[in-house]
Amino acid sequence: MPIHASADSWILETRNTAYALGFNASGMLVHRYWGPRLPYLLDYPPVQDYGEWSSFYGKREINLEEYPVYGGATYREPCLKATFTDGVRDTVLEFKAAQIEGNELKIVLEDVHYPFRVTLHYRILESLDLLERWVTVENFGTDSIRLERIFSAQWHTPPLEDYRLTHLGGRWLEEFQVFQEPLTHGVKVLESRHLSSGHQNYPWFALDNRDAL
């Protein structure tokens, strides 16, 4: 399945879905599209660079950062939070390279001051019609770097009028019970403290607009 690349933008297409991202005029790596595969590449929305709405809605609040990190004036949940040996906790990443190897896209970012590299991975799984995402980090210096948080990805869901969250839970003899609820503003945490999946909770959830079966 194809990965289409330009100088600063990428479109990944599976059999039925597509995902697009790119760098805007401000140098931010932002999300462009996630949804059904479209007939032509020009059908996908362009990279956006939204300006500030007000003093408390800055560019990092409005633009959909592909992989937000801790630091600067933003209230978004970061995917990555690191502390360097001098006590600095802000990470400022800039683009270094993009590589396409078969069905995988790698976007390499590096901190502007510290020897810290973050690589975003996107891999198309042809047989499953899925897009897989994960991140790798590298300390290519001699001083230690402490990671306080590292997430595999930031998913920006397509706009829907009303989201429904479906997840699984249960107990002994009542496994795989389906729970559904409206997804409202705020933080929703699904977890199990047994350190493994089991009949209490399962590492799976789905979002829809209440019409999925």
The domains of the chain are located at 3-150, 164-208
* Phi, psi (deg, nearest 5) at residue 175: -75, 160
Per-residue pLDDT of the chain (213 residues; tens, 9 = 90+): 699 999 899 999 999 999 999 999 999 999 999 999 999 999 999 999 887 777 777 788 888 999 999 998 788 899 999 999 999 999 999 999 999 999 999 999 999 999 999 999 999 999 999 999 999 999 999 999 999 999 999 999 887 888 999 999 888 888 889 999 999 888 888 888 888 888 888 888 999 988 876
Neighbours of 132 (CB within 10 A): 14
Of the candidates 135, 149, 20, the residue with the CA atom closest to the CA atom of residue 76: 149
Decide yes or no: CATH 2.70.98.60 for domain 3-150.
yes
The model scores a pTM over 0.75: yes
* Phi, psi (deg, nearest 5) at residue 41: -65, -35
Distance CA 166, CA 172 (A): 20
- DSSP line for 80-94: EEEEETTS-----EE
**Whether the Cβ atoms of residue 44 and residue 53 lie closer than 8 Å to each other:** no
